[in-house]
Homo-oligomer: A and B are copies of this chain.
Amino acid sequence: MNLKDLYSKSTAGMKTSMIREMLAQTKGVPGMISFAGGFPSPATFPVNTLNELFQEVVTESGSDTLQYGASEGDNELKKALISWENVSLDTDELLITNGATNGIYYFTRTLINPGDVILCEGPTFLGSVVSFEASGAEVISIDMDNQGIQLDLLEDKIKELKSIGKTIKFFYTIPDFQNPTGITMSLERRHDLIKLMQKEQILILEDDPYGELRYSGEKVKSLIEIARNEYNDKKIVTTVKSFSKILGPGLRMAYVMADKELIKPMCSWLQKVIVNPEGVTQRVVAKYISKGYLEEHIKSIREFYKPYQVAIIDALTKYMPNEIEFTKPEGGIFIWLKTKKDINFDELFSEIVKEKVCYIPGSKFYPEHYEQYNCLRLNFSYPTIEQIYDGIKILSEKIQTELSKL
């Protein structure tokens, strides 16, 4: 019996993660300076407060939180989130999920028939792309500029796809400190995007894992805030927010805000997939918010990461050759680097690893057939400040050498 012969088509067609395989080369190498990660710094996890709250929750409400719970999520957590958020939300417009990817999965399951199109920014978060592709969707990316998605390109692509009879279900975006580029969509672009999607009757899925991690500049209103508060439109934007970069990804806590006619089927999928979110952790997060810890903690995380953001932008400015462009994000944990010159950063990867520096090649952040190779992602939440300067210097010199060969 060959078990592989029994796999479903969608399983047999799944790609292995090239990122994982690439990073396997870098693991356990002493002295490796890694800009490849996407993990928050464990120094930002509020261990002591969480410890108190776990204790409080298990002791005070163990028989409740250890029992089966509501599939749509713990009511106390929902109440805390409703008072925390800047949009007015009914209880049935919220779904608690096992991390943001989990919410994105239910949204995709709710809407996608094989062959339907999902549009996204190019580059974008690979985890979402592979999840979209596994649903049988055709994933098409649209280029960005420094204000976010390029709406003229988006509109042309929609026209083209509709003319050949394609069904476009939604546009996926990470408007704040995007993964991998660090780009934040401008306010004007957000307004125009919403108006375009309303005209085209295509939903927007707003993924917001980094929005709270702003180290400079002014907050830009989220897409759901604009849609609900300024256009009185509850349907067009669905937003997924996560506690992974705030309290710790190990907690697997995220939530979805959407029209109740989307929350309802998403919740039906959740019932079939995880039955209900974890009870103790939900209540811990509820208390973390309702006791007022969250606001203070976010301030401290911003202060923690800011020096790293300052250092990497400073190091890049100092060391990178002029042929290299890089984003200057005001928050998040990623910077995007690209060049008009003919450098293939997939090929350079093994070379630079030998010099004990690693990044993720930009091509890994595009859906199949849309790959670009003249770009890469740098993470600045994992290396130390010293490593940032050292690593960027090594990387810059390597790139300089490559450029001189052209």
Cross-chain contact B279 with A250 (CB below 8 angstroms):
yes
Comparing A95-103, A174-182, A184-192, A385-393, the segment that makes contact with chain B is A95-103
Question: Restricting to A123-182, which residues have a CB under 8 Å from any CB of B?
Answer: 127, 130-131, 134, 169
A252 within 8 A of B: yes
Copies in the complex: 2
A54 within 8 A of B: yes
Query: A101-B273, A169-B6, A279-B250 in contact; A39/B66 too (CB < 8 A)?
Result: no
Report how far A33 CA is from B132 CA in the complex, Å.
Answer: 46
Query: A8-B111, A268-B14, A275-B252 in contact; A45/B68 too (CB < 8 A)?
Result: no
Name the distance in Å between A153's Cβ and chain B's nearest Cβ: 24
A79 within 8 A of B: no
Report how far A1 CA is from B109 CA in the complex, Å.
Answer: 19
Closest to A2 in B: B261
Name the distance in Å between A201's Cβ and chain B's nearest Cβ: 6
A269 within 8 A of B: yes
Question: Restricting to A217-266, which residues have a CB under 8 Å from any CB of B?
Answer: 235-236, 244, 247-252, 259, 261-262, 265
Contacts of A105 in B (CB 8 A): 272-273
A281 within 8 A of B: yes
Contacts of A8 in B (CB 8 A): 109-113, 116
Closest to A167 in B: B6
Name the distance in Å between A349's Cβ and chain B's nearest Cβ: 22
Report how far A278 CA is from B254 CA in the complex, Å.
Answer: 12
Comparing A56-64, A80-88, A360-368, A369-377, the segment that makes contact with chain B is A56-64
Report how far A8 CA is from B110 CA in the complex, Å.
Answer: 6
Closest to A69 in B: B250
Which of A6, A69, A269 has the most B CB atoms < 10 Å from its CB?
A: A6
Cross-chain contact A4 with B261 (CB below 8 angstroms):
yes
Report how far A69 CA is from B279 CA in the complex, Å.
Answer: 19
Which of A1, A43, A261 has the most B CB atoms < 10 Å from its CB?
A: A1
A51 within 8 A of B: yes
A55 within 8 A of B: yes
Report how far A268 CA is from B249 CA in the complex, Å.
Answer: 19
Cross-chain contact B250 with A110 (CB below 8 angstroms):
no
Query: A3-B259, A6-B203, A280-B281 in contact; A130/B63 too (CB < 8 A)?
Result: no
Query: A252-B278, A273-B273, A279-B251 in contact; A1/B235 too (CB < 8 A)?
Result: yes
User: Which one of B10, B45, B98, B262 lies within 8 Å of A3 (CB-CB)?
Assistant: B262
The 3 closest A-B pairs by CB, nearest first: A250-B279, A66-B248, A42-B63
Given A50-B62, A98-B98, 18 other A-B residues pairs in contact with their CB atoms under 8 A: A6-B203, A7-B111, A11-B268, A14-B265, A39-B67, A39-B68, A43-B63, A47-B58, A66-B251, A67-B248, A67-B250, A98-B274, A127-B271, A131-B272, A131-B273, A248-B279, A249-B279, A252-B277
A-B contacts, 20 of them at CB < 8 A, read A11-B109, A11-B268, A14-B268, A42-B64, A45-B62, A45-B63, A47-B62, A51-B55, A51-B58, A54-B54, A66-B248, A68-B250, A101-B273, A102-B273, A105-B272, A105-B273, A127-B271, A127-B275, A250-B279, A252-B279
